[in-house]
Amino acid sequence: MKLEYIIEALLFATGETFTVDELSRLISRDGDEVEEALADLELALRDRGIRLSRHNGEVALVAMKEISPIIEALRKKELTTPLSPAALDTLSIVLYVAPIEKKYIDLLRGVDSRNILRTLRARELLQETREESGVVYNPTIKLLQFMGLESLKELPDYEIHRKTLRTFLEEGEEETQ
């Protein structure tokens, strides 16, 4: 399989930005090979609805600029509709377990949380950061302010629920190993 296909799939499936070094480590190829594959991918996407974007040493897939108004309208709609029960569920998990990786949110919810996490990030209720273990999610100060909290420890039965959820996740992790 062509390296450019692997990179395209990674960028598409995660919706994340990556540096060449991160891609190199992820797919066990050297930087020159990754750079060549990125150049091929950029060329292949030239006449498509998505493009390869490079900014500050990172690469990502983005929509072509002519489609931006349509995407912006969708995002505005996403930001003005009330949060769904699934979004509230996801927020609760992050509030009690943060920092938490997506795979653990998915485990607790029993479904893929990618779209909900995107919505919550767009509303600036969650932030994602890269740690050694991977991408983790945390509540934003904006969410805490909205909830009238100074600290997560002010959540109802915070320590009890946090401990219960973390125990469940640790047991689930042990079962999958």
> pLDDT tens, 76-109?
776 677 888 999 999 999 999 999 999 999 989 9
pLDDT at 114 over 80: yes
Domains in the chain (CATH in brackets) are: 3-66 (1.10.10.10), 82-176 (1.10.10.10)
* pLDDT, position 13: 84
Write the DSSP symbol of residue 19. Answer: E
Average pLDDT estimate for 108-114: 92
pLDDT at 57 over 90: no
Residue 94 sits at the vertex; the CA angle it makes with 88 and 95, to the nearest 5 degrees, is 85
pLDDT at 5 over 90: yes
Q: What is the mean pLDDT of the chain?
A: 88
pTM of the model: 0.58
* pLDDT, position 78: 63
Question: What Cα–Cα distance (Å) separates residue 170 from each residue in 21, 45, 176, 177?
Answer: 30, 42, 10, 11
**Cβ-based neighbour number of residue 65 at 10 Å:** 8
Range scoring the smallest mean pLDDT among 5-9, 58-62, 131-135, 138-142 = 131-135
* pLDDT, position 24: 94
Residue 87 CA to residue 81 CA, distance in Å, equals 12
* pLDDT, position 177: 58
- Per-residue pLDDT band at 176 (split at 50, 70, 90): low
Q: What radius of gyration, in Å, describes the C-alpha atoms of the chain?
A: 19
Write the DSSP symbol of residue 81. Answer: S
Q: Is the dihedral of CA 9, 34, 121, 95 positive or negative?
A: positive
* pLDDT, position 174: 66
Residue 114 CA to residue 116 CA, distance in Å, equals 6
* pLDDT, position 32: 94
> pLDDT tens, 120-157?
998 889 999 888 878 899 999 888 887 888 888 889 99
